[in-house]
Each structure stands twice: as structure tokens, then as C-alpha cells.
Chain A
Amino acid sequence: MIEIKNLSKSFGSTKVLDDISFSVKKGEILGFLGPNGAGKSTTMKIITSFWSPTKGSVEIDGVKTEDDSMQTRSKIGYLPETVPLYDDMRVFEYLKFVAEVRGLEKDKIQARIKEVIEACNLQTVIRKPIEELSKGFRQRVGLAQAIMHEPDILILDEPTTGLDPNQIVEIRELIKKIGKEKTVIFSTHILSEVSATCDRAIIINNGKIIAEGTPAELVHKMGGAEIIYVKIKGKKEDVLHKLKAMENVIKVEEKDRESDDIHGYELTPADGVDLREHLSMLVMNAGWSILEFSKKSISLEDVFIKLTK
């Protein structure tokens, strides 16, 4: 559906994008992750034909943007990072303008605007001037604009920045709902967002793709899925010694200290091995006691920090 080949973009001597290639399948929700200034927005601006690339190409359904951008543009709904609203218009005026300029048929415009208003929960603000809207509503009007012409592809640049937690959940739900029938690319630097909404994620840093895969795959690639945390009452040297001697334990680390003989330890088990039973047996046999026990998964957060540092 979307084919991006060897995309590069430079401004003078600074390279913002450096030879990026990836593709997005129909119906997929792709998360575009990266720290600020990594090149996420630039990539989106090129896909939407706002900018042209220095090198490389973008193909949408087999049509290159440089060959027929009118056709590729009409398949895309785009929500830029700064929500593009005309402050002096009212919400319905704006939506009507969008519908008309997108070339919707005259007799269908009314019905479509109604649908979009419902999908984005804008009923209460349609008559308000846009400049009076709260940030959450602005974002939703922006989203309404992007889906107006029922595009196959939605490109959303940081759709949840600046919103409060409730609004974030709302917008995320909306993206998921819309994403059921459409191909969605959205960028974010909030990682939980990717695990919550995306089928696949691409991590980008300094203009290069540094990792790609489902959220689970990305975590897996980072080596080991889980860590066991255990707090044991017993003499520290003995405990450390015995834990290290255990089978299938790759790494033992002392994590914290509560008192002289109560310490917290972190164990990294070998891939796919369940250590829990062994561990409790060991502790019992040695005459110590377990005060706390938990399993920690490596989050996408850790992957992200590791990769982009």
C-alpha cells in the first residue's frame, strides 16, 4: 500500500533523513517512534507531498508521489503536528470547506459531515468559532478533517501531544476505531501509545531506522523478555553465592537493601525458563524467607531508551 524507498532529505549540509526504506500493508496501524527531531515529521511531510525528498521515492498503491501527487494526495488524510485550523471559521464552516475542497459530491456533503461529527464527538461545538475550542476539541476537529473524504490512508503526526490523560485515551480509541478499515501511520514519542494501538512499530533516530517490528518483537530483540525481582531475608554473601550457582540464571544483581540481612535481588533467567519454583525451593532449603517476589517485563520504554541513547 505504501512503499518508501531510500528516502533522504537534507537541508543544506544537515541530513534530516538518511536512506529510509519501509513499507506499510493495507489495514495496518504503524507506530512511528523516535525522540524529537528524529525525522518523523519530515517523513510524513514527504509522504503527504508537502515536501519533496532530496533522494528516494514514495509510492502509494503503485503510484509515485512525484509522478501524480494529485492522485496520491487524494488517498491520504493528514493531521500535521500543529493542528491546521482556521481560527476565524466556525467548526461546521471549516468542515464544509474541507468536504468541498476534497471534491465530495454536493448532495453527499451534508450526510458525510454529520457522520464525521458523530465519529469525532463534535456535536456540542459545531457552531463555535474554532478559536474558542479547547485543545482536545481542536485535535478532534483536526482528525475530523483528516477522515472527511474517507481516505484509505491516515497520517497522524503526534495526535496526542498536549492532551490530558482522558483526552489521550479518547483520541487513541478513535484512532483504533478508524484504524479498523484504514491504513494508519502515526508518530509519537509516548511509548505506551505504541503498545496500546499499533500492529507494528518503527523506531527512528537521527534520520535512520534503528529497529522495526511488532511491540513484542522489539522487546524480544532487546534480549530476554523478563526479569525476576525477589527480596530475601538471609545473609547477603550466602544468598548471592547460591543464586549465582543456580541453573539457568544468567545474571544476578543486588538491587536494594532494607536492613542488614534483607536485600532485593534481580535475576535474569535464560530465555524461556521459568525459575520461580526452583527459586522458592532453594530459599526454603537454605532456611531463608522470601519477603517479596515479582516478575518484571522489559518494556518498550527500555528498548527505546537503549536504542536512542
Chain B
Amino acid sequence: MSVRHALLALLSEGPKYGLQLREEFEARTGEVWPLNVGQVYTTLQRLERDGLVESDGAEEDSPQKGFRITPEGESELAGWLRTPPDLASPPRDELVMKVLVAMRVPGTSVHEVIQVHRRYLIELMQQWTRIKEDEAEFDVALALVVDAELFRLDAVIRWLDSADGRIKRADLDPPEQAPAALPRLRRRVGVRR
């Protein structure tokens, strides 16, 4: 999450003090991303240097120093909101690697390795769900953050389930000639290094 753009977003609602910005940032992100005070002020200084916000000229680092967004800041924010994050090329996924390696290590059950990760992920999901159950019912921002984590972890578990089933089927009915999966995949989708 870009602190810079989060602060611009908060200032797009109207002028605010430094301390107020910090409190609102924490409230909006469901307190999941704690922010230290220093980060807020150094980011505000940079935003001011870049002409994206203006201050009322009060003493540096004072919690009572007021800030407002400039037209350049508004345009920067609008551009950022509409810039897709880089999801186009898959990241190098450590879990995918572990499963691929487990298939080749003698004496290792890849299904058992998959289950270890599946259990760990479900335990994480249980913790997130507990947060949602206890606190997120009346806090939409927190519920959105928790949902994002749950869907992300859920997708990993679905991949594990599908890998489990695919490997089981392949063991029962092995392909005649196993292709070299990794190099071909890397060429085709351009895995990030």
C-alpha cells in the first residue's frame, strides 16, 4: 500500500492536520497496517516538495501543521487509482516451487507436503475469519481487508487441491513422455525473477 497515495486520498476530502492524517489512515485501513508517525511526516514533506500538497507553513513536524491537496496532487491520485497493479506476470511462487521439487525428491510424499501447507493456510484463514466475525461486521474497511486476505489464501488452497488431484491422476495414469514443464512455462509466460 502506498502511504503517499493514501495520504493524498485523505487530503482529497479537505485540509487536515498531520496528526489527524495519521489517525484516519489507521482507521481506514482497518488498523491492519500500523503506520509510524515518522512515516507520515516524511511522506508529507516529500509530497510538499513535489508540489502535490501545500502546508500552512506551521513549524515542521508539528502535529498541528495543516495540509491540503493541490490540483497536481488530485491529478496524481486520479492516475494512481486507475493504474492497474502489476499482476500480469506471475511472481516466482515459493509454494509452487516446493510442490514441484517435492515431486522429485525420493522418499517424499508430495501429497503429505501439500497437506502440511494446506493445514497451515487453513489455520491462517481461521484467524482472519475470527477477526471478521468479531470485529468486521460493522467495519466495512476491515471486512474488505480481511476478505482480500481470505480470497488470496483460498486461491492458494484451491491450487493445492487441484495440484493434489492432478498429481494423483498422473500417478495412476502417467503420460507417455513427461515434458520439461518448467523451462517451457518460463518461456511462455515470462516468470519474473
Say whether A associates with B.
no
A interface with B by C-beta (< 8 Å) = none
B interface with A by C-beta (< 8 Å) = none
